[in-house]
Structure 1
Amino acid sequence: MKTGERISLADLARSSGAGLGRFDPGAVQQALGGFATARISSDASPTVNDISECLFFSPGDGRIWLQDQRMVLLHTEALGSLRREMVDSLGLERVRGLFTRAGYVSGARDATLVRRQWPDAEPPAAAVAGTRLHALEGMVKVEVVDAAFDPERGSYEGEFLWHHSSEDDEHIAAYGIGGSPACWMQVGYATGYVSTLFGRLIVFREVECRSMGAAHCRVIGKSADLWDDVEEDMRYLNARDFVDTAAYDRAPPQAARPASPEPHPSDAMVGASSAFNAACHHLSRVARTTATVLFTGESGVGKEKFAQMLHRISPRKSAPFVAVNCAAIPETLIETELFGVERGAYTGASQSRPGRFERASGGTLFLDEIGTLSFVAQGKLLRALQEGEVERVGGSRAVKVDVRVVAATNEDLREAVRAGRFREDLFFRLNVFPIHLPPLRDRRDDIPLLMNHFLQHYRHKHQGQAKGFTQAAVRALLGYDFPGNIRELQNLVERAVILAEDTDLIDTHHLFMGGEVQKQGFLTLDVHGAPGRLMAQGGAIPPLSSPAQPLSHLPRDAEPTPPAPAPSLAGGGRAIHLALDQAERELLKDALARCGGNYSAAARLLKISRAKLAYRARKHQL
């Protein structure tokens, strides 16, 4: 096999004549029938064959892919050995948290794959796809006892049996039968997958486990507000104690709410993604020191929140935390604001006043937007950092200060140094311990948690009764780029809570009404509406020339009802549909002819998945 050549598991099975196995229609219907959303056929996409099309092997260059996610084959004994050594070194509780968070990330990744590959899949089929992926990845065989997702109430409840758990095998081999469940990674996977799929926090708990002597593992999943003590579960999902869990707990009755104002949502740190956890670990490591910290990242990622938490978990927590937005202070006043002023130093200085350095003495001084300081101000700041003392404007003596300086910027300071806009010596003085906070689009695993957190907060603040998010809204938020990051998500949810009618679900028109541009749009069938009715999901309708987003998902005997075409388009929706249908057929036919009938090669040529190409080829009877 050539280096770089990829072959899917399905291709391998076809070439060898071996079958992958098929869904048993009765078993699938039994599994799917438990969902309260809809009854669907046993061959609803994604099927087991559809999923197998996403697994690729490239032995020539040593890589395995699950669609666009790189995978590895790992001996369970090696994983068990790693787990055993970690437990012996770190303790069972800490390792349980590490494996739960790793499983959460894996489940969130698989849910994202399913959403992207099969955007028109019905919720029950998409949920069951997670069980098939979990089995395909060699973790466990899942048996659905009962599962229900009620979009009207925004609630989920499910019960599952797990057979042949790989985690149990290794845990029992190392420690024997014990008194606590051991499928930590698998519980995290289920929580991450279903929470990402439905766009709200859904917590899974293992109530029976083979490592406790049971014949099989029994798992219960519920929406977070249906558990009485969800904070105990979130303790393993959160990397550090300072990560917020109160927002996940059951909301108290209206009469039981305290009269004190509820904390602002920015006061909570919420997340479980690997990027968020890495930042939390760095924060915890540096908090106990007096080192200068530089937070970098785009606007809206939570730099000030991290700075406040750094102060709160440091030995200086009882001293003042003083924040300065350098961009909001005029250049002529920055020295006065930072270092203070003596009486009579200039016209209008009627009394002496301490600066921010003196007010923060013993505590933490947070300098936001540090890159906007002028060269003069940078020089004076450098001297204060080096000498540990400041001199007030108009003063004649130096004042000693004991301040921990924490800075933040959304600008690349190294580039600013090269461009001559920032002093190199000051940069190195500030860059003692840099912590980069990733944009929200790079930590999408946290979006369902943040959605749930902001929804609970603004329901309380605005006395709203919105029950949750529609599947269209979940798709839109998970696919949105969030140029404003967490601050923008917070604003979108607050707006939606205000706009949504009482007891309604939040939909896309509640969220995106402020000129936001949704780039990842697609069309899908509205399974709860009239047969064949199209609805826009996640943004604008894609260009008519896009081969990857056809309208051929419609049944051939159904009359489509697309959105009104642009004025420049001639003819009705039926004519447009037929024209696109024929254009897609010709495009697929040409690609297959060029590739000699090889579906995988044709899919790569069209830049779509092989599963999508095969589905559309069957539709067009090619």
Structure 2
Amino acid sequence: MLRKRLIEQFNLRSRLKFNMEDGRIWLDENRMLLVHAKAMAAMRRELFETLGPHRAQGLLLRMGFATGRQDADLATKLVGAGDDYDVFNIGPVLHGFEGIVKSTITEAEIDWEKGSFFGTVELEGSWEAECHVEHFGTGNDCACWSITGHASGYVSQFFKRFIVFREIKCVARGDDRCVIVARPAEAWGDDPFLDYFRSEDGDAPFREVEAALSSVRARMPPRRASGRLVGSSPGFLAAFDLLGKAAGTPVTVLLLGETGVGKEMFARWLHENSPRAAGPFVAVNCGAIPTDLIESELFGVQRGAFTGAQQSRPGRFERADGGTLLLDEVGDLSLAAQVKLLRVLQTGEVERLGDDQVRRVKVRVVAATNVDLKQAVAAGRFRADLYYRLATYPVEIPPLRDRKSDIPLLAAALLEKLEPIYGKSFLGISDWALQVLQAYDWPGNVRELENLIERSVILAPNSGWIEVEHLFPEGPPQGLTGAEVDSQGHVGHPDAALEGDLYTRLLAEGFDLEAHEDRLLRIATERARGNLTHAARILGITRRQLAYRLKRGA
């Protein structure tokens, strides 16, 4: 009875969505997989035969622990729709909802303030125990390792404290039922069972294999580290490979790409991996400096050169001497500045504005632009001789929409960078949120993604998941490609076609909007037995919105 009430109270069935067209199943914001139990059983058997019982048991326990934490995060989101104990009991219901096992809490000693849990849970219909008996028969060991790990992960995440379940009865060893008991980790003392939660280095045969692999790696040429550049898509790797080949040379590099693709990051990597790494890296945005000041900024100014020049000042070329100078948005330079820039590139000599002294500089120039310089040359806005000087070694950086497979990597790297800045720690970005991110076309490219992740770090609760509502608090942007996203960020609504047919029929029959809305409100309120909070959750609106509509219709 409790199980049925919780399923209805928290509207769990509506959180499970099947999208046949896109080949995805969702439980809230977590992507799920519907797999054959026999196939999972075969994989489990192979783990035992390949790794040995001890390592296989530890691996299954830790896998279960990770899934338990995700289910706890879903349950925690429901706080406010019921009391803490009801929300806590969602854990066993979710595990049954996922087809793993029917769990029933038979004893529970909970201290909500201290975050302590001592309890006993009975398991019925454990797929893990059934498949273990089928493949190995009954024996002396318990078999529900991933289920025990799930319970440990769920309760540990829920109470923010390491709480460990251990199986004390199991049908796989001839008991009449499976039973797991829980207590805080420290209450288990020095029980060696706790070692299963720690990843191991492996048995001797695996150490021998690792040693052999290390020997092979030692004979391979070292692979250049990407550092702060993140990506594995073909477009990114092609650009990165070109950049790496130029790093050890003095060649002038022209970085091409849309605004926000990370041209300055590429330029910094080039500098940090070049023989000039110990020298300065100086960046100047040519498009952000007024035309009448750009020459003094680049080449410097001598005192008295013009009104307001009260002291001599070196330009960016002099400041970058011995290092690298990034000329960002070089396509915005005036023709007069282009002439002087070409001379510096050809001679390596700089003359400050208002001075006749020549100063030699050794600078590696990296130019960057989002302008089509060939078209600018044809239109007479850019000197052809300067273009050919800068375009000796062009590197095209693809826009983010053409390297969407890099989005999970970029988002994770940005999250890792921002966590210590804001003093927060997160479990990661939910599966559903990643789907929404990958469905977006990113006109602002990596810079837009970085801003979005930073905002989500501020909005998301500490120790939780980054979800769609944190990334897009006002709803996902319109015009997504690759998937449709509704106002809650749900990708590829599975019933879109059916809904379209239903609404078409309703309109054809003469649709009374107010009457249908009033009826829906009454049905939801009756189903929630008068509890407006529960009724609002069923309808997908806030309690305040529901109360207003009910009052308006009264």
Correspondence for 1:537: 490
Q: In structure 2, what is the equivalent of residue 434 of structure 1?
A: 394
Aligned-partner Cα distance in 2 for 1:568–1:496: 40
The residue that corresponds to 1:473 in the other structure is: 433
- The alpha-carbon deviation at position 118 of structure 1 amounts to 2.2
Give distance in 2, aligned partners of 1:420 and 1:569: 61
Aligned to 1:151: 70
Alignment of structure 1 residues 182-331 onto 2, 5 Å: 240-244=223-227, 268-331=228-291
The aligned runs of 1:201-600 (5 Å cut-off) are: 240-244=223-227, 268-513=228-473, 517-520=477-480, 522=484, 536-538=489-491, 549-551=496-498, 572=516
Equivalent residue letter for 1:497: V
**Alpha-carbon distance, 1:282 to partner:** 1.1
Unaligned runs of 5+ in 2: 1-11, 48-59, 75-198, 210-217, 503-510, 521-554
Work out the CA distance in 1 between the residues paired with 2:333 and 2:325.
Answer: 16
Query: Residue by residue, what CA displacement relative to the aligned partner does 1:68-88 show, whole Å, maximum 9, x if unpaired?
Result: xxxxxxxxxxxxxxxxxxxxx
Task: Flag the 1:551–1:143 CA change in 2: closer, same or farther, 3 A.
Answer: farther
Do the aligned residues in 1 keep the contact of 2:468 with 2:488 (CA within 8 Å)?
A: no
Alignment check: 8 A CA contact 2:475 2:488 kept: no
Identity of aligned residues (%): 45
Q: Is the 8 A contact 2:419 2:425 kept in 1?
A: yes
Query: Which of the residues 20, 23, 40 maps onto 1:118?
Result: 23
Label 1:471 to 1:288 Cα distance change in 2 as closer, same or farther (>3 A). Answer: closer
Residue type of the alignment partner of 1:479 = A
Query: By how many angstroms is 1:318 displaced?
Result: 1.3
Give the aligned partner of residue 171 of structure 2: none
Q: 2:267, 2:326 within 8 Å by CA — same for their partners in 1?
A: yes
Q: Is contact 1:473–1:507 with CA below 8 Å preserved after alignment?
A: yes
SS of residue paired to 2:407: helix
Q: Is the 8 A contact 1:290 1:404 kept in 2?
A: yes
Q: Could you say which residue in structure 2 is the equivalent of 1:109?
A: none
3-state DSSP class of the match of 1:341? coil
Structure with a larger share of its residues in helix? 2
Segment of structure 1 superposing worse, 143-152 or 493-502: 143-152
State the alpha-carbon separation in 2 of the partners of residues 119 and 574 from structure 1: 34
- TM-superposed deviation, 1:468: 2.2
Structure 1 equivalent of residue 126 of structure 2 = none
The equivalences for 1:122-133 within 5 A come to: 126=33
Amino acid at match of 2:70: P
Cα deviations by residue, 1:359-391 (Å, 9 ceiling, x for unpaired): 212211110011111111111111211222121
Deviation track 1:241-266 (CA, whole Å, cap 9, x = no partner) reads: 3323xxxxxxxxxxxxxxxxxxxxxx
Residues 230, 410 of structure 2: 8 Å contact kept: yes
1:318 is paired with a residue whose SS is coil
Give the Å deviation of 1:457.
2.3
Contact map agreement 1:341 1:355 (CA 8 A) in 2: yes
Contact (CA 8 Å) 2:257, 2:398: kept in 1 or not? yes
> Structure 1 493/295 Cα, relative in aligned 2: closer, same or farther at 3 Å?
same
Separation of aligned partners in 1, 2:448 and 2:260: 7
Give, as a single letter, the amino acid of the residue that structure 1 aligns with 2:273.
I
Take 1:574 and 1:414, find their aligned partners in 2: how far apart are those partners? 63
Q: For residues 130-159 of structure 1, what are the alpha-carbon distances to aligned partners after superposition, in whole Å with 9 as ceiling and x for unaligned?
A: x99xxxxxxxx998865553425789xxxx
Matches within 5 A, 1:33-48: none
- Deviation of the 1:480 alpha carbon: 1.4
**Structure 1 residue 212 displacement after superposition:** 10
Question: What letter is aligned with 1:338?
Answer: L
Unaligned runs of 5+ in 1: 1-37, 51-115, 133-140, 156-203, 215-234, 245-267, 525-533, 543-547, 557-566, 577-622
Alpha-carbon separation, structure 2, partners of 1:309 and 1:353? 28
Q: Which amino acid aligns with 1:550?
A: A
The superposition leaves residues 156-185 of structure 1 with CA deviations (integer Å, 9 ceiling, x where unpaired) of xxxxxxxxxxxxxxxxxxxxxxxxxxxxxx
Which sits farther off after the overlay, 367-376 or 469-478?
A: 469-478
One-letter amino acid matched to 2:375: E
Between structure 1 and structure 2, the one with the greater Rg is 2
- Maintained 8 Å contact 2:247/2:273: yes
Q: Deviations over 1:82-101 (max 9, x none)?
A: xxxxxxxxxxxxxxxxxxxx
Supply the distance in 2 between the matched residues of 1:552 and 1:144 (Cα, whole angstroms): 45
| 1:528 alignment partner in structure 2 | none
Contact 2:248 / 2:274 at 8 angstroms: preserved in 1? Answer: yes
> How much does 1:467 deviate?
2.2
Deviation at 1:536, TM superposition (A): 4.5
Contact residue 152 and residue 504 of structure 1 kept, 8 A: no
Inter-CA distance 210–125: structure 2 relative to 1 (3 Å threshold): farther
Structure 2 CA distance, aligned partners of 1:568 and 1:332?
66
SS in 2 for 1:270: coil
Q: Is contact 1:518–1:538 with CA below 8 Å preserved after alignment?
A: no
The 2-side partners of 1:375 and 1:439 are apart by 29
Paired with 1:426 and 1:449, the residues of 2 have a C-alpha distance of 37
The whole-number CA distance in structure 2 between the counterparts of 1:568 and 1:359 is 73
Offset at residue 463 of structure 1 (A): 1.6
User: Which AA in structure 2 matches 1:537?
Assistant: H
Does the CA contact (< 8 Å) of 1:475 and 1:538 recur in 2? yes
Asked whether the equivalents of residues 25 and 31 of structure 2 are also in contact (C-alpha less than 8 Å), the reply is no
The CA distance in 2 between the partners of 1:128 and 1:209, in whole Å, is 33
CA 1:301 to 1:210, structure 2 compared with 1: closer, same or farther past 3 Å?
farther
| Pair 310,205 (structure 1): closer, same or farther in 2 beyond 3 Å | farther
> 1: distance between equivalents of 2:46 and 2:343?
66
The 5 A counterparts of 1:23-38 are none
Aligned residues: 340
* Helix, strand or coil at the partner of 1:420: coil
Question: In structure 2, do the counterparts of structure 1 residues 535 and 372 end up closer, same or farther at CA, with 3 Å as the change threshold?
Answer: closer
RMSD after superposition: 4.4
Q: Indicate conservation of the 8 Å contact 2:469/2:475, yes or no.
A: no
In structure 2, distance between residues paired with 1:348 and 1:372: 25
